[in-house]
Amino acid sequence: MKIFFHQSANGCEDADIVVDCTKMSIHEELARTRYALEIAYSNFDNVTDPDLIDCYIYEVNAVLKRYKYLIEQAADKDLLPEEKHNEIYRALTLFS
């Protein structure tokens, strides 16, 4: 399991620059999660092996849950425009 440590490069330590690190962090995480979701969808669309298809279905659904969580957190803190509060991506499900 990879653990990522985030260091903000927006100058929060500098006394001269006032930046809300929470806002920057949530927006950065949303962008990263959106990118990871697009990669997972792309990988899903380009595999043919049944085991890999299952793998990417689970990956897309896991990243999608993280994205929904971040959207809710950003909406709770009023960091998103109103039209973005219910933004969703297509979910993948296993067909038996």
The pLDDT tens digits of the residues spanning 13-51 come to 544 555 566 556 888 898 899 999 999 999 999 999 999
**Burial class of 14 by CB neighbour count within 10 A (0 to 12, 13 to 18, 19+):** exposed
Percent of the chain at pLDDT exceeding 70: 59
Cβ–Cβ < 8 Å for 40, 60: yes
Secondary structure letter of residue 7 according to DSSP = -
Q: Which amino acid is at 58?
A: Y
Distance CA 18, CA 14 (A): 8
Q: Which amino acid is at 33?
A: T
Residue written as tokens 């929904």?
68
